[in-house]
Structure 1
Amino acid sequence: MSMLSREEIQLKMETYRKAMFVRNPITRFLSLYLSKFVTSSLKTRSTWEEYIGTSIIARYRKNSMEHKLQYKLNLNITFYEFSSYIVDVTSNYAIDEITDHWLPMHKSCDPCRFKPDFIGYFEELETEGPYLLQWLGIDGAVQLPKYHVSTTGSQLRNEYSKIGRNKLRKLINYYAHDYNLFGYSTEAYLL
């Protein structure tokens, strides 16, 4: 709950500079899966498995006894299972600290309502990040963390080949509004 009144919030929205960064939805989605279900700490993975993993297991694994026994840690959620669940079930999820990771950006940030003055692209963070700090007038006071090149790009073709073209089309359709709103192209993924 905000400690600010509606009037204070409105004043800040009208007078503060507002910025956001977006990322290609397909790359963002794969990065999410890898960081929460593959390379994360046991604590992070168990949080995600408790929140969504057990539902994924119940929905997509046939042997009910097997998935009941697996409702422990290390459910080994596959990329196919995760992507299936997201496109099959989660379109009506409300935003929270977990769903914010996979919901389309236009739902989690609502730029049409928020009206950012600056929209940066994660793919251009190394260039746009310093520009943003300068534009905000805080480049001398704040330093961005060291930028590292994402390895997700090298895994895109491999991981998305596992889910098939039909599932990929559904996933792209799930993020269609973000593709249009932020100017990303789907052509490279659908060829």
Structure 2
Amino acid sequence: MMKIEQQRRLQIVEKGCEKLTIPRSLANFSDQYLSHLIVESRYKILFNYIPKVSCTMWKELFDQLHRTHLTFNIRFLTDLIKPESRRFQLETCRKAVFVREPLTRLLSMYFSKFCNYGEVQRLWEYKYGWLIVQNYREGYHSPPEIPNKDSQQPFMNITFSEFIRFITDNINKEDILRESGSRVGGTDHFLPQSTIASPCAIHYDFIGHFENLSTEAPYMLNFLGVDHIVQYPGITASEAEKKLVDEYKKVPLELLYKLEQYYHADYELFGYSFNDTLKRIITSGNNDDN
């Protein structure tokens, strides 16, 4: 059954690339996000980890695989300096990636970065919060001081709707997103997965869905021929999965449709349905146009 499902998902990518007029040739491939591709040369594997798609566990698992063979650190495709070496790996290795329903992934990112009331929240509030409050709240005119774990500044408590407005207002201004993100890190936690994974240029052999992680992760490890060395640990239920409806009901419909535009390629290429997600949100109760 999984083999048939994988064929279906790869066909969706094929049709999506054609519909979106994205070339499937490596000749047109930008190496901007090659840093997400983990190389396991012994088993000829390339795995593209995507933030908020269980990426921490995947990096730890591949690190364990490297340690098993007495190598030192995870090796990324960007470690290969020569373009021809990178291209050789892209052309000869089996390639795998896990993706996630876009709105759920965004909500998971928001919870982990803006709702933990610790150092991470302070960093992300400095990273994006000062721009958000300047644009969407009255009384803010200058960036706050660089936060740290001992900061006594009150938290900005960026709302989910405020963060969505910031993203959707800057859909065509990625320089703004990148400039603000460069303060303490990248923007890959909410950038479209299609941008990070480049499924039209990188011809994946396996595309997993986060929603079926408990069955698809072991299958992928078997498919890649490493399940006798590493096993995916037990799955913990995602807070975002449980709160999807409750949180998005608070978001104006106009912002939801703008999010669909931002993540349109994700929906086209990875087999998710924005309409199904929207229906789930709306039919659970009246949407609050706050």
Is TM more than 0.5 here?
yes
Asked whether the 8 Å contact 2:109–2:189 carries over to 1, the reply is yes
Q: Show the 5 A alignment for 1:132-147.
A: 132-147=220-235
Query: Residue 117 in 1 paired to residue 193 in 2?
Result: no
Give structure 1 stretches of 5+ with no counterpart: none
Q: Show the 5 A alignment for 1:11-50.
A: 11-39=88-116, 42-50=118-126
For the residues of structure 2 that align with 1:33 and 1:48, how far apart are their CA atoms?
10
**Shift in Å at residue 160 of structure 1?**
0.9
**Shift in Å at residue 70 of structure 1?**
9.2
Residue 189 of structure 2 corresponds to: 101
For the residues of structure 2 that align with 1:107 and 1:68, how far apart are their CA atoms?
29
Residue 52 of structure 1 corresponds to: 128
SS in 2 for 1:114: coil
Of 182, 186, 189 in structure 1, the residue corresponding to residue 274 of structure 2 is 186
Give structure 2 stretches of 5+ with no counterpart: 1-77, 147-152, 280-290
Asked whether the 8 Å contact 1:25–1:178 carries over to 2, the reply is yes
RMSD of aligned C-alpha atoms? 2.2
Asked whether the 8 Å contact 2:80–2:86 carries over to 1, the reply is no
Asked whether the 8 Å contact 2:97–2:206 carries over to 1, the reply is yes
Query: Residue 9 in 1 paired to residue 86 in 2?
Result: yes
Asked whether the 8 Å contact 1:33–1:79 carries over to 2, the reply is yes
Residue 86 of structure 1 corresponds to: 167
User: Larger Rg: 1 or 2?
Assistant: 2
Aligned length: 189
Q: Which runs of 4+ in 1 moved over 6 A?
A: 67-71
Asked whether the 8 Å contact 1:20–1:120 carries over to 2, the reply is yes
Structure ranking higher in helix proportion: 1
SS in 1 for 2:249: helix
**Shift in Å at residue 64 of structure 1?**
2.7
Asked whether the 8 Å contact 2:165–2:255 carries over to 1, the reply is yes
Residue 126 of structure 1 corresponds to: 214
Which shows bigger deviation, 157-166 or 125-134? 157-166
For the residues of structure 1 that align with 2:157 and 2:93, how far apart are their CA atoms?
44
- Give, as a single letter, the amino acid of the residue that structure 2 aligns with 1:80: S
**Shift in Å at residue 153 of structure 1?**
2.5
SS in 2 for 1:18: strand
Asked whether the 8 Å contact 2:125–2:156 carries over to 1, the reply is yes
Query: Residues 73 and 11 from structure 1, CA distance in 2 versus in 1: closer, same or farther, beyond 3 angstroms?
Result: farther
Q: Which has the bigger relative contact order, CA under 8 A and spacing at least 6?
A: 1
